[in-house]
Amino acid sequence: MGYGAMQLAGPGVFGPPKDHQQAVKVLRNAVESGVNHIDTSDFYGPHITNQIISEALHPYRDGLVIVTKIAARRGADKSWIPALSKEEITQAVHDNLKNLKLDVLDVVNLRGMFHPHHAHEGSIEAPLTVLAELQHKGLIRHLGLSNVTRTQIEEGQRLCEIVCVQNNYNVINRGDDAIIDLLAKDGIAYVPFFPLGGFTPIQSSTLSSIAQILEATPMQVALAWLLKRSPNILLIPGTSSVAHLTENLQAADLVLPPEAIEGLEKLN
């Protein structure tokens, strides 16, 4: 169970958070609770989320993996703008290094043909080649992909080693079922973003009923189902609240009985 840092920025993932000290506290509580994987990006804010991470956690404890993503920038109107040129990719890597106060990035995910929620076809060879060159220079340890199709994953694997894929997936949005199973066979991590529905949280009477029976919250059940779904799934639920952080982490210990799993499978 990891932690997604997107919600540490202000509304619309833009500007500073309403409560800066609370954001710092959430990060410190996450690591103190055993979280060893933080997902972020320098286009959250922009720059602000990474600066909060470094303020809260630097120098980083051994074993903490910080995963970032690139290939977008933010407009003054809070828009999300594709940033896939060699110059933009290179600048993004250096911005992440600077704001996270790192000499080398653990994992950099290349965000595919940029869309906030859905993957779109298109070659990723050019930007991924730039990232691979930066990896060879010692600025990046591992490369991953985000918001990509199966075709793009296959293209990426022909170009370099891919250690993780991060796509939109949850208990009611299961379009990546086949991709998850293929990646599991290759020992590649699958990291579902929006595991709880993202900007539109999951709502389901079935989910609520199962949660009531298990004396858990619907979101805890949704997270527990993802952990049960496949051994290569790594979760990164995000929150700006310490209470919600604790609630999310407790989902790792929630045991779903067969009848609950059967009911959740029918949500797809």
| Catalytic annotation, residues | 44
CA distance readout (Å), 214 to 163, 234, 254, 260, 265? 35, 23, 9, 9, 17
How far does CA 116 lie from the centroid of its chain? 13
Cβ-contact 3, 39 below 8 angstroms: yes
Q: Which of 31, 33, 53 is nearest to 41 (CA)?
A: 53
CA distance readout (Å), 35 to 62, 95, 117, 121, 137? 12, 24, 25, 33, 29
Q: Are strands 80-82 and 72-74 parallel, antiparallel or unpaired?
A: antiparallel
Amino acid at 150: R
Alpha helices for the chain (secondary structure H): 20-32, 48-57, 86-100, 125-136, 150-159, 177-185, 205-214, 218-229, 242-250, 258-265
CA dist., res. 3 & res. 66, Å (int):
10
CA dist., res. 21 & res. 2, Å (int):
21
> Rounded to the nearest 5 degrees, what angle is found at the Cα of 168, between the Cα atoms of 167 and 173?
135
Q: Which of 68, 49, 47 is nearest to 5 (CA)?
A: 49
